Chain A
Amino acid sequence: EVQLVESGGGLVKPGSSLKLSCVASGFTFSSYGMHWIRQAPKKGLEWIALIYYDSSNKYYADSVKGRFTISRDNSKNTLYLEMNSLRSEDTAMYYCAKHPRDWGQGVMVTVSS
């Protein structure tokens, strides 16, 4: 059974940084591209980043490009999202996903002064 467990969320002030983690199990993590998707409160879903299985390619939504960095450690079966220069509009539930089927339960990030 595929499991994706996110962690690292919390309440932070505008302009600060945060790093999310997603630990994967139940599949060969090193063989799959992985995604981060977010959902602002009471809003729809927004894809924000993709990393290839071997980290050779990374793609970002325009809304986070230059501020967020996706990375992975295949030896630890872990996906990361480093978020810098956080804004109030980054407040959301952040999901890691093995597209299209498997999603984590999400981790909440709140950016507020």
Chain B
Amino acid sequence: DTVLTQSPALAVSLGQRVTISCRASKSVSTYMHWYQQKSGQQPKLLIYSASNLESGVPSRFSGSGSGTDFTLTIDPVEADDIANYYCQQSNELPFTFGSGTKLEIK
């Protein structure tokens, strides 16, 4: 199985830029997606196929990477961005998720 590794938590000041990383244990090409999950809600797709912004998602969010190293960038961070962020690969079954990064405000 492809293991995805994320940092558990990040603290950032409002208005600053934050980069959330996701490292895959083997290449997933660009079959990487990013989700935002707020407390009590289902995950929401932000970025698909590594770098494509989902319709309706603010342009403050962007994604990059290919192969094994991927990043989700939020610039600038707003209070509404407080959430857990998950990466997911769909290059091979089983589809796997990272363990999530909790974004906190300093």
Q: In the complex, A61→B94 CA distance in Å?
A: 6
User: A residues within 8 A CB of B42?
Assistant: 95, 103-106
- A72 an interface residue at 8 Å Cβ cutoff? no
Partner of B88, one of A45, A62, A106: A45
- A59 an interface residue at 8 Å Cβ cutoff? yes
- B97's closest neighbor in chain A, by CB? A45
Contact A35 B98 (CB under 8 A): no
Q: In the complex, A19→B98 CA distance in Å?
A: 28
Interface contact tally, CB-CB below 8 A: 43
Per-residue CB contact flags for chain A residues 98-109 toward chain B (1 = under 8 Å, else 0) read 011101111000
Contact A100 B93 (CB under 8 A): no
Closest 9 A/B residue pairs (Cβ): A47-B95, A45-B97, A103-B42, A100-B33, A44-B100, A44-B99, A101-B45, A59-B93, A61-B94
Contact A99 B43 (CB under 8 A): no
A residues with CB within 8 A of B: 35, 44-47, 50, 59, 61-62, 95, 99-101, 103-106
User: A residues within 8 A CB of B97?
Assistant: 44-47
Contact B94 A47 (CB under 8 A): yes
Per-residue CB contact flags for chain B residues 33-66 toward chain A (1 = under 8 Å, else 0) read 1010100001111001000001000000000000
- B73 an interface residue at 8 Å Cβ cutoff? no
* Interface bin, chain B: 20 to 34
- B91 an interface residue at 8 Å Cβ cutoff? no
B residues with CB within 8 A of A: 33, 35, 37, 42-45, 48, 54, 86, 88, 90, 93-100
Q: In the complex, A99→B37 CA distance in Å?
A: 16
Minimum C-beta distance from B16 to chain A (A): 26
Contact A45 B43 (CB under 8 A): yes
Contact A100 B48 (CB under 8 A): yes
Q: In the complex, A95→B44 CA distance in Å?
A: 12
12 pairs, CB–CB < 8 Å, chain A vs chain B: A45-B35, A46-B97, A47-B88, A47-B94, A47-B95, A50-B95, A59-B93, A61-B94, A62-B94, A99-B95, A101-B45, A103-B44
